[in-house]
Structure 1
Amino acid sequence: MYNSRLVGVVAAAAHRTVCRSSLSSAAGVAGTAGLFCTRTDPERHGRPMHSCPAPDTQFMCYSLTHRALLRLQGEDSAAFLQGLVTNDMELLTGESRRGAIYTHMLSVQGRTLFDLILYRLKESEDGQFSVLVECDRTVTDSLQKHLKVYKIRRKVSILPCADLSPWAVLPLEGGEGREAAGPKLSAPDRVLLWEEDPRTVAMGWRLVAPTQLNPVELISESRQGDIEDYHRHRYTIGLPEGVQDLPPGVALPLESNLAYMRGISFTKGCYIGQELTARTHHTGVIRKRLMPVRLSAPIRDPEGLAIVTEAGKLAGKHRAGSGSLGLALIRLAHANEQLVLQAPGDATPTLQASVPEWWPKDGKLE
């Protein structure tokens, strides 16, 4: 998926990746310990960061209040979703029977509408397949309407799950990541789902449980973390999530690294928005990508501001972030240059893009 210019970006950025020192080299998982020590951080406008966890803490649990869950059930559920999502539902229903997959739903023009994690649920007593859909909470109603437009006479029921909550579990720096044994649940029967995050090992695990349950009760050597630290972790490693990072009807899936997040199949049958996406893939030309960036100084409301080279040539656009960390759509031809954010007023913060460690180095998925 890399074009020839990106090869140079990878080599140039290998020693310059943002917060590379905070990544866990043992497991290939971006560590989050650096986010939790008590100190004053200018990136958080003088507010103290999260206090240091207890010495025996190995995992941080984050309540994903910005995410919501829907349940699709019925004999036509898998076939129904197969025509709507970019990934292959056979990964959930076929021989591999994965517990979770990442995917997007696209508009007819091939732009992202919803970024989703699909979880396979146990079959009901009557053998019906059902799937849990995790989405951005702000688009829950839009997603239900979108599904109902294409449902027609399909035997599928679409139900909100207000009684369930999604959680993320991340290892601390210095702890073992997913390549070693993960955290153990003391009472696994109390949770509905416990799966590896399907996007990258750098995002740890996903857990779905009744709303009244806190997984800290079930995972030894864990504590609950601040959701802001979860988002800062995502921006550090360059992983988009939700409508701010992937604005509906605007973001293009391959520019948003959907293939790198294992969220698309190029061999499945037709689905809505496939034509443009498949054509882009087969031409092998992707001139822009969503990349992690670091500002020389945090500024207020950088979202949507233009990014230029020192010579004034347009190099991209800032998408979203937290403090000095963020995501930006960067032209790969300029990804290894010193860049400038065109901020209002006299502020002219510089900006540095980096290549995430979890990206495939040869530009292809394993």
Structure 2
Amino acid sequence: MLVRAITAPGLRRWCRSQRGAATACFPLGRALLGVRGADAAVFLQGLLTNDVTQLVAAGNAPPALYAHALNVQGRCLYDVILYRLHGSTAEEPHILLECDSSVLDSIQKHLKLYKIRRKVTIAPCPDLSLWAVIPGEQPGDASSLPKCADPALLLTPDPRAEVMGWRLIAKKGANLSEIIPGSQVGDVQDYHRHRYKQGIPEGVKDLPPGVALPLESNLAFMNGISFTKGCYIGQELTARTHHMGVIRKRLLPVRFPEPLPGVPEGAEILTQEGKPAGKFRAGGGELGIALLRLAHANEPLYIQLGGDRVKLEATTPQWWPKAAAK
């Protein structure tokens, strides 16, 4: 087994520290892809928005990073979370890449296209399962996490935002109640509702490949980009937008007055005067996520559904940087 584990005593201490919050574990349909070899980090460095070399740096290397792979026009192709599986710089670099399962074949072809003579192997990890761990509605304290020890699983804070809890990687078929005592397996739809409530995009519905722009998708807010690393595919437009300091549209959480079945993806959102304000991306029930013009985000907004004008409200997530929320 390639993934390091949290010791059972450490997990029990962590669970006790979360007393009062019902810890829910959500099975995710995301795919896991292993990238292993001496050139693993250097190889991914030229393809992703974040500084992947952090994962192989000596000292306090982060256990996980969020990033996007962009096309040459600077638009999002894949949203990924990278996990460091090697224990030290003395070990062969081994990085696990989490992606939308519907693009697993596509991302493998994308990586192999740029592999050339790099000393890396790229292979799916069907023997592993991925879980989101969220302690109720309360954001967790990363300092309470137990430390990794022997080869069974990986539990790490979600690198995108504290409100998203943790990511757990375990053996397929592992008993969650043994790994995290007192936890309950939750409905994955509740996980997506939590994401939409917090305005966290994930997967191709929220981030349409070749359409979504990284900074409009709040990539910088979610710790998913380095503006000081070297070149990578799609960097030019992204860096220019950042240095101009003007982002007129952003992904925002939206809420309808009541649950609505089948809101079309890409449906136009209008102001009260009928001006275009943005587009609905995806959602579930009364919650969703939409790309909106910031100039109209605080106005009354509507969407046309079957001849009816349905009201919706956009909100600014509390986890955003305070300057961005103004």
TM-score normalised to the size of structure 1?
0.79
Q: Does structure 1 residue 205 correspond to structure 2 residue 166?
A: yes
Distance 1:363 1:57, change over 3 A: closer
Shift of 1:125: 11
Q: 1:159-174 maps to which residues of 2 (within 5 A)?
A: 159-173=123-137
Residue in 2 that maps onto 1:111: 75
Residue in 2 that maps onto 1:265: 226
Deviations 1:240-275 (A, max 9, x none): 111111111110000000000000000000000000
Residue in 1 that maps onto 2:261: 300
1:135 is aligned, of 99, 104, 107, to 99
State the alpha-carbon separation in 2 of the partners of residues 84 and 236 from structure 1: 30
**Aligned partner of 1:329: which letter?**
L
Residue in 1 that maps onto 2:280: 318
Residue in 2 that maps onto 1:26: none
Residue in 2 that maps onto 1:63: 27
**Aligned partner of 1:146: which letter?**
H
State the alpha-carbon separation in 1 of the partners of residues 161 and 272 from structure 2: 34
Shift of 1:296: 2.1
Deviations 1:152-211 (A, max 9, x none): 1111100110000111110114x67225624x69x9646331111100110001110110
Distance 1:125 1:289, change over 3 A: closer
Deviations 1:225-252 (A, max 9, x none): 0101000000111101111111111100
State the alpha-carbon separation in 2 of the partners of residues 216 and 253 from structure 1: 37
State the alpha-carbon separation in 1 of the partners of residues 170 and 54 from structure 2: 23
Distance 1:189 1:126, change over 3 A: closer
Distance 1:262 1:177, change over 3 A: same
State the alpha-carbon separation in 1 of the partners of residues 320 and 139 from structure 2: 20
State the alpha-carbon separation in 2 of the partners of residues 242 and 101 from structure 1: 16
Residue in 2 that maps onto 1:89: 52
Residue in 2 that maps onto 1:357: 318
Residue in 2 that maps onto 1:154: 118
State the alpha-carbon separation in 1 of the partners of residues 136 and 88 from structure 2: 37
Q: What percent identity do the matched residue pairs reach?
A: 58
Q: 1:9-48 maps to which residues of 2 (within 5 A)?
A: none
Distance 1:124 1:196, change over 3 A: closer
2:235 is aligned, of 274, 277, 282, to 274
Residue in 2 that maps onto 1:285: 246
Shift of 1:56: 6.7
**Aligned partner of 1:67: which letter?**
R
Distance 1:125 1:255, change over 3 A: closer
Q: 1:205-284 maps to which residues of 2 (within 5 A)?
A: 205-284=166-245
Shift of 1:328: 0.3
State the alpha-carbon separation in 1 of the partners of residues 204 and 266 from structure 2: 13
Deviations 1:290-349 (A, max 9, x none): 00000123333222110000000000000000011000000000000010012232x211
State the alpha-carbon separation in 2 of the partners of residues 105 and 98 from structure 1: 19
State the alpha-carbon separation in 2 of the partners of residues 74 and 205 from structure 1: 26
Residue in 2 that maps onto 1:47: none
- Farther-moved stretch of structure 1 (138-147 vs 289-298): 289-298
Distance 1:255 1:130, change over 3 A: same
Taking only aligned residues, the RMSD between alpha carbons, in angstroms, comes to: 2.1
Q: Does structure 1 residue 333 correspond to structure 2 residue 299?
A: no
TM-score normalised to the size of structure 2?
0.89
**Aligned partner of 1:101: which letter?**
L
SS in 2 for 1:350: strand
Distance 1:341 1:88, change over 3 A: same
1:74 is aligned, of 37, 53, 57, to 37
State the alpha-carbon separation in 2 of the partners of residues 309 and 247 from structure 1: 24
State the alpha-carbon separation in 1 of the partners of residues 48 and 294 from structure 2: 27
State the alpha-carbon separation in 2 of the partners of residues 145 and 335 from structure 1: 38
Q: Is the 8 A contact 1:61 1:216 kept in 2?
A: no
Residue in 2 that maps onto 1:144: 108
Structure 2: gaps of 5 or more residues: 1-18
